[in-house]
Amino acid sequence: MKQFFISAKMSVVFGVVMCLVLGLLGIVLPAEVIQAQTQDGGLIDIATYTAYGLAIATLLVFYKDFTGKRTLFWALLFLLVAAVLREAGIQHMLTQTDTTAFKIRFFTNPHNPLCEKIRALAILAIVAIVALYIVIRTALPLLKGLFKGNGLSWSIAGLCATTIVSKCVDRAHGNYYKWTGTPVSDQVMPYLTLIEEGLEMFIPLWAVLACWQHHFIKNH
């Protein structure tokens, strides 16, 4: 059982379950219910914060698994906290003159105060440096693990893929409007939101799975 849990098969099963859960929610729930539960304070929003809390708690519980890699541990913890803050909308709190402080238009808008731009840029730089450090420390072993069927590598790949797809879906309706000049219909929009918010909910759950796999591999 443990051998299966740390294998790529477990990560594939988790990915399939993720798709089935979102698909089932889309089939069973009416559009108006989906729209209500994907808003701030809805069930999916609450589930997302709960999942991030679980991910942070799991990482802290397995602190000893990072003996000799303490800097990596703190970098991962920092990135999880940063993700929670981003989910909470810190990008909107950092500016009083624009809708978000983490987009190119914010920095190119001459009406936005220089102090806000410097503050936002500093935060982005810190997050980028931490993320780059994690990539440098883990990219090669994880890449090798993908070809060896290592479950941890496959779960990290699943986490990254889920993040990328959620961002693509998040921008889909805006890009559709730019390309066609027609907004996405009210019947379709709730389901796009369900996919986006649902995938974001599974990002920290991928992290929980990866933490457990790392723990079992470390002690195998």
Structurally, the chain folds into a number of domains equal to 1
Q: Which parts of the chain sit beneath pLDDT 50?
A: none
CA–CA distance, 6 with 153 (Å, rounded to integer): 10
What global pTM score does this model have? Answer: 0.90
User: SS3 of 7, please?
Assistant: strand
pLDDT score for 41:
86
pLDDT score for 31:
87
Going by the DSSP 8-state scheme, the letter that residue 99 receives in this structure is: S
User: What is the domain extent for residue 186?
Assistant: 2-218
pLDDT score for 94:
72
pLDDT score for 121:
87
User: SS3 of 3, please?
Assistant: helix
